[in-house]
Structure 1
Amino acid sequence: MNERVSVSSGSPWEPVVGYCRAIRVGNRIEVAGTTAMRDGEVVGVGDAYEQTKQIIKTIEEALQKLGGSLADVVRTRMFVTDIARWEEIGRAHGEFFKEIKPVATMVEVKALIDPRLLVEMEAEAIVSSE
């Protein structure tokens, strides 16, 4: 039986909604939808590139707490409020994942939970050993 280990986002909504930032079961890590919120503030208001960089840094922190790294990421999913900004978002994604090359999906959504948020991203990782 694989142990289930989770990392909290620290969000006040986590216990209300019933979720965590990331969870590891065996050698698999799943990272929940992550935005550019940091200490209750939106990082990079109006800047999709900066928001995406912050999101990936937050994902990296969660992976590290669970014994993983960005190098273990096999899939990312990006939810964006304006697909016309795909190049800004893709450039930031590429800066972190250029050599790793996970499978990636980017889709436009009507809105995110805060209108200042332009991007939300999920990640899946498989670590090499348990």
Structure 2
Amino acid sequence: MRVTLDNPASAPQPLSPYYSQVARVEQADGSALLFLSGQIAEGATLAEQSRGVFETIAALLKAHGATLADVINIRTYLTDITGLDEYGTARREFFTGTPPTSMTFEVSRLFRPEALIEVEIVAAVPGTE
């Protein structure tokens, strides 16, 4: 097993130098697990921020040969759970197939005061065998 930490140049860069956006865990069969750090995005509304988050996640996955179809788990942190429907509508724009496993939490605040949402994911990238 090999672990690689990465901030792909082809994706939006992290907001702080203190973390990596992607941990890639290579498996013996050539497959890999991708663990993405929590992602936030700019925007005035929850829907705008949600779309921005999933666009960033898609770019991070693409840099590692994966797509949103490879996502197996989503953890979502909302500062106001009453926005769940608004978030869900935006999420369904990006996840059109069988939905991954999921957990959603309401939190009092996120590390950036303007952030209404933060999303972290795990993806499974098939091997070449």
TM-score (normalised: structure 1)? 0.84
Report the Cα offset of residue 5 of structure 1: 4.6
Superposition CA RMSD, Å: 1.6
What is the count of residue pairs matched by the alignment?
120
TM-score (normalised: structure 2)? 0.85
Q: How far apart, CA to CA, are the structure 2 residues paired with 1:11 and 1:54?
A: 14
Percentage of identical aligned residues: 31
Question: Residues 129 and 50 of structure 1: is their aligned pair in 2 closer, same or farther, counting only changes over 3 Å?
Answer: same
Report the Cα offset of residue 100 of structure 1: 3.7
Q: Which residue of 2 aligns with 1:94?
A: 92
Q: Contact (CA 8 Å) 1:80, 1:119: kept in 2 or not?
A: yes
Q: Which residue of 2 aligns with 1:7?
A: 7
Q: Any gaps of 5 or more consecutive residues in structure 2?
A: 27-31
Which of 48, 51, 67 aligns to 2:49? It is: 51
Amino acid corresponding to residue 44 of structure 1 in structure 2? G
Q: How far apart, CA to CA, are the structure 2 residues paired with 1:112 and 1:61?
A: 22
Q: How far apart, CA to CA, are the structure 2 residues paired with 1:109 and 1:34?
A: 15
Report the Cα offset of residue 94 of structure 1: 1.2
Amino acid corresponding to residue 24 of structure 2 in structure 1? R
Which of 35, 42, 58 aligns to 2:40? It is: 35
Q: Contact (CA 8 Å) 1:73, 1:100: kept in 2 or not?
A: no
Q: Contact (CA 8 Å) 1:20, 1:32: kept in 2 or not?
A: yes
Q: How far apart, CA to CA, are the structure 1 residues paired with 2:3 and 2:115?
A: 34
Q: Which aligned runs of 4 or more in structure 1 are off by greater than 4 angstroms?
A: none
Question: Which structure has greater helix proportion?
Answer: 1
Question: Residues 62 and 92 of structure 1: is their aligned pair in 2 closer, same or farther, counting only changes over 3 Å?
Answer: same
Q: How far apart, CA to CA, are the structure 2 residues paired with 1:53 and 1:65?
A: 19
